[in-house]
Amino acid sequence: MQAPVLVDVDGKPRRPWITWFTDCATNAITGVAVTPVHSSRESVLAALRSAVLREDPYGPFGGVPEKVRVDRGKDFLFRTVTAAFDLLDVTVEDLPAYTPHLKGTVEGLNRAVESMFLAALPGYARQPRPGKRPTRPKGEVLLSFEDFTARLLDWTRWWNTEHQPAPLRGRTPLEAWQDDPTPLRDVPAADLWTFTLEDAGTRSLTTRGIRFRRRDYVGSWMTGQAGIQVRVRFMPHHDHRIEVYHAATGRYLGPADDQATEEQISAVRRTRAARARRLKKDLEASQRERYAAATQAESPRRLGALTGAQAGAELAQATDTDLSDLALPDLIPPAAPPAGWRTPASLTALTTPGQPVPLPSGSDEETAPDRRDGPAARPTTDEDGDA
């Protein structure tokens, strides 16, 4: 769900997304993940890991579920997510569209978290405004993304350990979980991490490292390993680091990365922001139009000085950036057709003079006689058709 709360993400107000797994029998929140922007397969996999693991800080809820019901969200139906469910031997039930009653547990949780927790936070997007004004109050201080995530996790612990939902009849989700005798199926954390990584195929380990997405990834463990075939896995959207496995044995070799320093990343972001502001300013200037005031009936007169040199320079710059204008389709004329082909004269004039292209082997057509050794061939006309 997209939380109806604005939080501060790198100086910009954004509405975070919450992805969580709930247990239908006990109403317990088994796994949760928060992203500053829209959810993706990476957030689903992160929530899945927290839902399966029962060790700190995720326990005691967890274990591999028997069935998972999803609401046709594309982030749940990505190939990486479905492959992870298949490896864990989990049945995925893809619910029909617009059927919230088939997943009432999580829909009830979404309503509860808004009314019991999100509505009291600063930046709540659905609070009434005086005079129906859509803007936020001046001077309102938003929570940082880190603070919002910490408060949400605290509320999740309160929900699991202290809150008593009505269907549980006076018990907390933790008490209902502990009273359930159903055996649990656990997966080691290392294996679970491998299952939830996206497979990027095999690569060759060279002296420059591993080439992946037009970047070279290196690691200290690669010394003396050049020439072997490896399999690359990575967490979706976290391409700053990859996990490398032996292609033949599947043995984990180690991580590899090509991450820039924090100073470089900050400098690049500042440069991009300055360029975006400059482009936005140029766009606004190009769309700004002024007209002269009229004191009598006349056609509108557009104002603004534009010299002939400026117009020519701008048109030349636009021409240089249009690939269709830069194309030269007639730079290299096509070769002459075989002599046995009946080609219209209009097309023959466009071909390169010289030795004709030989006929393919096994052709049944006869070659026309050479003009130097025999009589001239019958001239072709524009009305002649192709062979």
Residues 211 and 166 in one domain: no
Domain count of the fold of the chain: 2
Integer Cα distance of 234 and 311 in angstroms: 50
Residues 158 and 209 in one domain: no
Integer Cα distance of 273 and 267 in angstroms: 10
φ, ψ (nearest 5 deg) of residue 294: -110, 135
Residues 142 and 49 in one domain: yes
Residues 110 and 245 in one domain: no
- Where residue 141 sits, what CATH number does that domain have? 3.30.420.10
**Which amino acid appears at position 380 of this protein?**
T
The β-bridge relationship of strands 12-14 and 7-9 is: antiparallel
Flag whether 287 is in a domain: no
State the pTM of this model: 0.59
Residues 59 and 135 in one domain: yes
Residues 145 and 20 in one domain: yes
**Residue-wise pLDDT tens digits, 215-243:** 888 887 887 788 889 988 887 767 778 88
Confidence of residue 72 (pLDDT cuts 50, 70, 90): low
Residue range 158-172: average pLDDT?
A: 89
Confidence of residue 76 (pLDDT cuts 50, 70, 90): low
Q: What is the pLDDT of residue 16?
A: 92
The closest alpha carbon to 31, from 182, 142, 196, belongs to 196
Residues 32 and 171 in one domain: yes
Integer Cα distance of 38 and 237 in angstroms: 13
Flag whether 62 is in a domain: yes
Task: Provide DSSP, 272-312.
Answer: HHHHHHHHHHHHHHHH--EE---SSS----EE----HHHHH
118: containing domain = 7-179
Flag whether 338 is in a domain: no
Integer Cα distance of 168 and 313 in angstroms: 75
Residue range 152-161: average pLDDT?
A: 92
Q: What is the pLDDT of residue 368?
A: 44
Residues 148 and 235 in one domain: no
Task: Provide DSSP, 337-377.
Answer: PPTTS---HHHHTTSBPSSPPPPPTT--PPPPPPTTTSPPP
- Where residue 208 sits, what CATH number does that domain have? 2.30.30
Q: What is the pLDDT of residue 237?
A: 66
Distances (CA, A) of 117 to 110, 172, 358: 11, 18, 80
Q: What is the pLDDT of residue 116?
A: 92
Integer Cα distance of 278 and 281 in angstroms: 5
Residues 211 and 105 in one domain: no
Residues 22 and 163 in one domain: yes
